Amino acid sequence: MSGGKQVNKSTPVINSMTELLAHALALEIEAVARYAELADIMAAHNNQEVAGLFKKMSQIEKLHVETIHEQIDSRQLKKLPVIKYQWISSEGPETTDLADLHYLMTPKQALHLALLNEQRARDYYQGIRQSTTDHDTQVLAEELAVEEEEHVALLQNWLAKIPVTEDHWDHDDDLPNSQD
């Protein structure tokens, strides 16, 4: 682990902007890949509406990757440090666990997963901001947390426009054939 101690399971101590940018870039790249993977899974299960939503989330995360690259370029950093990433769990804060999927999930449920991802990313950056001793890293962590909070608000607005998920949403009339 680079950059110091870990205060608790969810709050790494990162005391350099370059290390924080490396974490942010990895976090966003992982989110792009996972949302694309979720879109493929939902498409394979013929849940096209949710597949499209996850594809859109992947595209949004690609914009975040571009923003992080712009921040790296604006600071004229040639190369980010090679580090061991400090995530809240075994995956990045903005990554949905595959165990949370259901092939019949609704768009509202998919948006709830995305909302949780954005909230975890916001909390991750807020934790770094609170734990760092480096002023510049603190400022950058706050900027990243504010950006994630904007995404939280966007998803909350999006969710408010979608009807409530009906009971028995996971009922499938077309169960697979059993083999004797």
How confident is the prediction along the chain (180 residues), in pLDDT tens digits per residue? 233 333 345 567 888 888 899 889 988 898 898 889 888 887 887 878 878 888 988 998 899 899 999 988 888 877 766 666 555 555 666 666 656 666 667 778 888 888 988 898 899 999 999 999 999 999 999 999 999 999 899 889 888 887 665 555 454 555 544 454
How far apart are alpha carbons 63 and 68 in whole angstroms?
A: 9
The strand pairing partners of 55, in sequence order, are none
DSSP state of 8: E
pLDDT at residue 40, as a whole number = 86
Q: Which amino acid is at 171?
A: H
* pLDDT at residue 133 in the model: 94
- The pTM for the full model equals 0.75
SS3 of 18, please? helix
**CA 3 – CA 12 distance, rounded (Å):** 9
Q: How far is CA 139 from CA 44, 79, 91, 158, in A?
A: 43, 21, 25, 29
**pLDDT score of 166:** 59
Question: Reduced to 3 states, what is the DSSP secondary structure of residue 87?
Answer: coil
Q: Which residue has the tokens 């949403």?
A: 169
Local structure of 7: helix, strand or coil: strand
The secondary structure element, H or E, covering residue 11 is strand 11-12
CATH number of 11-160: 1.20.1260.10
pLDDT at 98: 56
Helix pair 135-160, 17-44: axis angle to 10 deg: 20
